[in-house]
Amino acid sequence: MLSDFFIFLAQCVSLYSTLCLIRIILSWFPGVLYSPVGMFFSTVCDPFLNLFRRFRIFKNSPVDFSPIFAFAALSILQTVLSALGTPNVRITLGGVLYLIIGMIWSVVRFFINILLVIFIVRLIVNLMRKDVGKQ
């Protein structure tokens, strides 16, 4: 019963990560954040994202890297909750190593996914610019 609760929490964290990702993508389009849909995503996600914007280390460049670290924290939390939701969990050295490797991999996987999204967006923008230049 308790394992089902942890699995449910892990799925909630996954859903929240998706909502935060949508909120960040909406911020790339001018004016969309002021629409009702944008306001919903801002209301739901900004309190969590603002926790990471407070850190001075993220403000040293013109690009806001705080969402990346916020997603990393959500990914680690989801990994821990999923591990706790595994039935008949026994704490062993191998289990702890598995959990640590799983958390590291989830952060790496997240960064790879972000780079993939950025690459796809840049590819689309470049293709649109080429099409505009031909007309």
d(CA 72, CA 120): 21
Is the pLDDT confidence value at 47 over 80? yes
Are 87 and 5 within 8 A, CB to CB?
no
pLDDT digits (tens, 9 = 90+) for 56-112: 665 666 677 778 888 888 887 887 788 777 776 666 787 778 777 877 787 788 778
Residues in contact with 99: Cβ distance below 8 Å, sequence separation at least 6, in sequence order: 79, 80, 83
Please state, in angstroms and rounded to a whole number, the distance separating the CA atoms of residues 33 and 26.
Answer: 6
How sure is the predictor about 2, in pLDDT bands with cuts at 50, 70 and 90? confident
Report the pLDDT value the prediction gives residue 80, as an integer from 0 to 100. Answer: 79
Tell me the average pLDDT of the chain: 82
The one-character DSSP state at 86 is: S
pLDDT at 58: 58
* Mean pLDDT score, 14-26: 91
pLDDT (0 to 100) of residue 29? 82
**Greater model confidence, 84 or 26:** 26
What are the residues whose beta carbons fall under 8 Å from the beta carbon of 62, sequence distance 6 or more?
none
The whole model's pTM is what? 0.67
